Amino acid sequence: MVRTRVGYTGGTTENPTYRNLGDHSEAVQIEYDPTQISFQELLDVFWDSHTPTTQPFSRQYMNVLFYHDEEQKRLAVKSLEREAAKGDDPVYTKILPATTFYPAEDYHQKYWLRHNPVFMGEFRAIYPQDEEIIASTAAARVNGYLNGYGTPEALRAEIDSLGLSPESSKKLLEIVSN
């Protein structure tokens, strides 16, 4: 995974904001290295991360897979068909073409990192601008670990690549191990 960012997409409202979302849905956009992880693997995580038979509360909180090309569309449709075949309940998850992605406000990005002053302080020292933190692979990974994802083994394997101080590296390992 190279970068992640959250934002709004799928609608027609120009320049949406959290307070004026219009007809968009909240979404995450992932920039990935296809030599390291496949779109199919991302699809598997997507389906495991929600209940497709739950009717969406609103357009803002729909479950949608936005495809960027015909190959993604083909794989997405195939995966939806597999999900639909699992039971009799209707699948409400949509598959739609990707349209303009509007990044959410900075305070939504790297949420868990942003709310940890120690780790955020270290990234701020390296990257004074929000856009740089949003673009940072290290920030994305630390954000994921702080949100409870990843294993201690995985973190140990890459801890030295994340740019943290020795103290924060130790602290993050403690957090993930607990």
Partner 1 sequence: MILVLGGFGVLLSSTRPMGQPSPVRDNLDVSTGNAVRTAQGNNRLTPTATELVQHVGIPPIDAATPTKTELATFALG
CB 123 within 8 A of CB 136: yes
Q: How far is the CB of 88 from partner 1 (least distance, A)?
A: 22
Tokens of 50: 């929600």
Q: Outline where 49-177 has alpha helix (H).
A: 70-84, 111-114, 117-126, 130-134, 137-146, 152-158, 166-177
> Is 27 or 91 the residue whose CB approaches partner 1 more closely?
27
CB nearer to partner 1: pick between 13 and 147: 147
28 or 77: CB nearest partner 1: 28
Q: Tokens at residue 62, please?
A: 């729909």
Q: How far is the CB of 87 from partner 1 (least distance, A)?
A: 19
Nearest to partner 1 of 14, 58 (CB atom): 58
106/135 Cα distance (integer angstroms) = 12
Short-list 88, 112, 23, CA closest to 61 = 23
Shortest Å distance, C-beta 72 to partner 1: 7
Q: How far is the CB of 178 from partner 1 (least distance, A)?
A: 16
Q: How many residues does the chain have?
A: 178
User: Please, which residue, 71 or 81, has the CB nearer to partner 1?
Assistant: 71
Q: How far is the CB of 149 from partner 1 (least distance, A)?
A: 4
- How many Å apart are CA 99 and CA 84, to the nearest integer? 25
